[in-house]
Amino acid sequence: MTKTTALKKYFGYDSFRPLQAEIIDHVLDKKDALVLMPTGGGKSICFQVPAMVLDGLTVVISPLIALMKDQVEALRSNGIKASFLNSSISNDEQDAVFWAAKLGELKLLYIAPEKLFSGNMVENFKNLNISLFAIDESHCISSWGHDFRPEYRQLSILKEEFPEIPVIALTATADKVTRRDICKQLQIPEEHTFISSFDRPNISLEVLPGRKRLQQIQSFLNKVPNQSGIIYCLSRKSTEAVAESLNNLGFKAEAYHAGIPADKRSKIQENFIKDETPIIVATIAFGMGIDKSNVRWVIHYNMPSNVESFYQEIGRAGRDGTPAQTVLFYSFADIVTRTDMIKSSELPEKQKELMLAKLDRMKQYAEANICRRRILISYFNEDIGKDCGNCDVCKNPRKKFDATVLAQKALSAIFRTNQKIALTMLMDILRGSRNQSVIRHGYDQLPTFGVGKDLKAEIWVDYILQLLNYGAFDIAYDEGHTFKLNEVSSQILKGQRMVEISEYISPSERQAAEAEQLKFSPSKTEQIKGELFEKLRTLRKQIADAIGSPAYIVFSDATLVDMAAKKPITKAQFLEVSGVGQEKFKRFGDAFLKEIFEFVNQNKESASRMGKGLTQAVSYQLYQDGYSVEEIAQQRSIAQSTVISHLIKMKEDGHEIDLSVLIDPWDLNAIKDAVEEIGFKKGDGIKTVFEHFEGNVGYEKIRLALWLLNL
């Protein structure tokens, strides 16, 4: 079986997401790998598809005991033989699972690390035909990571005990230092690291002042009725107080924290997964054990302690790829509380310093004046090259200025000190401070000494932090939090890249601006009002209740959206829906086909325009809601040129849309000159124009230009 056949047969997808195919080929060649993909980015496919292609058993090591049952159930619903071993099952059940694995009756076996290293389990595993080890949440192995777990350190013996079996380590959150440590611990060559984009464009980002929080949450919830979401609080007491207040206001919410008895926690979690309880108010104990694709929003009542945790927690929203909202409440009191918690902990001093430094980066995110998505992405050493347009800063931008020369001064100082300085020393060098430390190191002799003395210290601090958040340089947490140059630094120093940052505003001006921000800003939340979608969602809930499973295990929201758009009425058409495989069709296809067929028969106009007409309308509606062509393509997993075709068709059908704004006049003129040069005429294939530009102009621009030129 090929990887593409396995993808379609078991998971219902026609094509792989970026990097998935490359990673799978690498694993099938029996090579080790470290994979970084955001939550919802398709990490599981990277080991589940090889598991179906390879002979033998794939062992998945995961700390998420609460999630294993649902993961295995989801695999079984796809026709995959899977099971799990953890502390929640009896000895007899464990023996049965192990026997099935020994007989070759399983393709995937999930196991907790503490179970793997208990008793004679490692020796017993040597009697199994294991083809692959997959280590999920692999950041837990690193003491530099945000969620270090000592039992994960033992995984370093895997290559010693099973030297011939490839290892794939996966994580959604790991900075550069953590990535290096993971590779070192698991003996994975660093060049075998695959890094997918950390960008989640379907998630909107917003930070609000931490005043009147409950009032703001009430206002928000009134705008998103019946949608599932999570509110994260710092303490157990807060979760209970907020949940009680929301229930008193007429919302259905439950508190969740480690102090609640295990059986009750399981019930709360089950109610949330099955859409019985739409709102969970929780500590960070909630979430890692949740595999729910249709969480539509996440609110942080208190600020998280680091960017990794924040990114992971907001990543629990919008895993199906459709729009989701996130809100962070921020106040200085949160910083004080978090700082006190770290300082009073019994952690080693080095670990405390690391946690305080990471808390400071989280504070910078909350106080940022530049695109928040750029800050998140640059933290993981990725440069998206543009503002997102889907965060509160982008929607309400501060006045910016060209800071290229200013950035070059700062970067030059970092370079001339051999990249061995941190924030305070950099500021002292730029401002020409002759303190003992500066003189002792000889930094007062540098050409950059004093080149920024025209700016006050607080202004330099603001600008340096903006440059850090921009991605102009990195922080080496394992080298005393010193600043390190990167590729973006090089481009700026060589004059190949212009830098814009926000003008400095004083604390009093900031407070005045926050006072105006006590209401939620409008968010691009997709409201799917289609009658068929609602019918399909109701049917999904009925089936899920009947089989005792979460609704998303039947079909995800994204699959229902595609189903409502394509309106399949035959098996072949139904199998073309994204997320529908052979096993899912066998189990649920007839019921959904019947529902769709009845809807089509009752809506004659809809029947006559079925298929392409509706999928074009979905693209048009998203565009009308303010989404860019690129965002629509990403959310719908289609090419940008296809989106352009949809918008052109809607324009031809009489819908109001100005297509000329979608192409730069220079590009339009260049394409016009090209078609005249090559003698292009109406009806010719656009590939000739594409090849004329040697691939430097995308199909979407060419298609739009030809339509505007009436060709």
pLDDT in tens, 294-349: 899 999 999 999 998 899 899 889 888 888 999 999 887 788 788 888 988 888 88
Region 643-661 average pLDDT: 82
Q: What confidence tier does 649 reach under pLDDT thresholds 50, 70, 90?
A: confident
Is 80 exceeded by the pLDDT of residue 610?
Answer: no
Would you tell me the crossing angle of helices 236-248 and 213-223 to the nearest 10 degrees?
50
pLDDT digit string (tens) for 22-40? 999 999 999 999 999 887 7
pTM: 0.60
For domain 3-195, the CATH architecture is 3-Layer(aba) Sandwich (3.40)
Q: Which residue has the higher pLDDT, 487 or 570?
A: 487
Q: Where is average pLDDT lowest: 431-445, 522-536, 681-695?
A: 522-536
- Distance from C-alpha of 320 to C-alpha of 556, rounded to nearest angstrom: 7
CATH superfamily, domain 203-389, is: P-loop containing nucleotide triphosphate hydrolases (3.40.50.300)
- Distance from C-alpha of 32 to C-alpha of 26, rounded to nearest angstrom: 8
- Please report which helix (H) or strand (E) contains residue 300, including its range: strand 295-300
Is 90 exceeded by the pLDDT of residue 403?
Answer: yes
Q: Which residue has the higher pLDDT, 644 or 50?
A: 50
- Distance from C-alpha of 144 to C-alpha of 146, rounded to nearest angstrom: 7
Q: What confidence tier does 621 reach under pLDDT thresholds 50, 70, 90?
A: low
Is 50 exceeded by the pLDDT of residue 518?
Answer: no
Q: What confidence tier does 218 reach under pLDDT thresholds 50, 70, 90?
A: very high
Whether 203-389 and 3-195 are alike in CATH topology: the answer is yes
Distances (CA, A) of 24 to 16, 19, 42, 441, 561: 10, 9, 12, 50, 28
Angle at 649 between CA 703 and CA 631, to 5 degrees: 70
Region 643-647 average pLDDT: 87
Percentage of the chain lying above the pLDDT 70 cut: 92
What single-letter DSSP state applies at residue 391?
A: B
Region 150-154 average pLDDT: 81
Is 50 exceeded by the pLDDT of residue 522?
Answer: no
pLDDT digit string (tens) for 450-508? 999 999 988 998 899 889 888 899 888 778 778 999 999 999 999 999 998 888 877 66
- Quick check: 595 and 571 in contact, CB under 8 A? no
β-bridge mates for residue 110, sequence order: 60, 84
Burial class (CB in 10 A: 0-12, 13-18, 19+), 535: middle
Q: Check: CATH 2.40.50.140 for 531-610?
A: no
- Please report which helix (H) or strand (E) contains residue 296, including its range: strand 295-300
What value does the mean pLDDT of the chain take? 86
Is 50 exceeded by the pLDDT of residue 152?
Answer: yes
pLDDT digit string (tens) for 159-207? 889 999 999 999 987 888 889 999 999 999 999 999 988 888 899 999 9
Q: What confidence tier does 514 reach under pLDDT thresholds 50, 70, 90?
A: low
- Quick check: 224 and 531 in contact, CB under 8 A? no
Alpha helix positions (H), 315-371: 332-343, 349-366
Region 508-514 average pLDDT: 62
Q: Match 């999570």 to its residue by tokens.
A: 230
328: nearest Cα among 268, 273, 393:
393
Is 60 exceeded by the pLDDT of residue 525?
Answer: no
Q: Which residue has the higher pLDDT, 593 or 245?
A: 245
User: Which CATH class name applies to 400-504?
Assistant: mainly alpha
pLDDT value at residue 529: 39
Q: What confidence tier does 414 reach under pLDDT thresholds 50, 70, 90?
A: very high
- Distance from C-alpha of 124 to C-alpha of 577, rounded to nearest angstrom: 42
Rg (CA), the chain: 27
Q: Which residue has the higher pLDDT, 408 or 340?
A: 408
- Please report which helix (H) or strand (E) contains residue 116, including its range: helix 113-116
372: nearest Cα among 399, 385, 390:
390
- Distance from C-alpha of 333 to C-alpha of 679, rounded to nearest angstrom: 68
- Dmax (CA) of the chain: 84
Tokens for 63? 């700390």
pLDDT digit string (tens) for 97-107? 999 999 999 99
Three-state secondary-structure class, residue 275: coil
pLDDT digit string (tens) for 8-21? 999 988 889 889 99
Percentage of the chain lying above the pLDDT 90 cut: 36
- Please report which helix (H) or strand (E) contains residue 23, including its range: helix 20-28
Domain residue extents for the chain: 3-195, 203-389, 400-504, 531-610
pLDDT digit string (tens) for 90-147? 889 988 999 999 999 999 999 988 888 888 888 989 999 999 999 998 888 887 655 6
pLDDT value at residue 339: 87
The CB density around residue 20, as the number of other CB atoms within 10 Å, is: 23
The CB density around residue 168, as the number of other CB atoms within 10 Å, is: 29
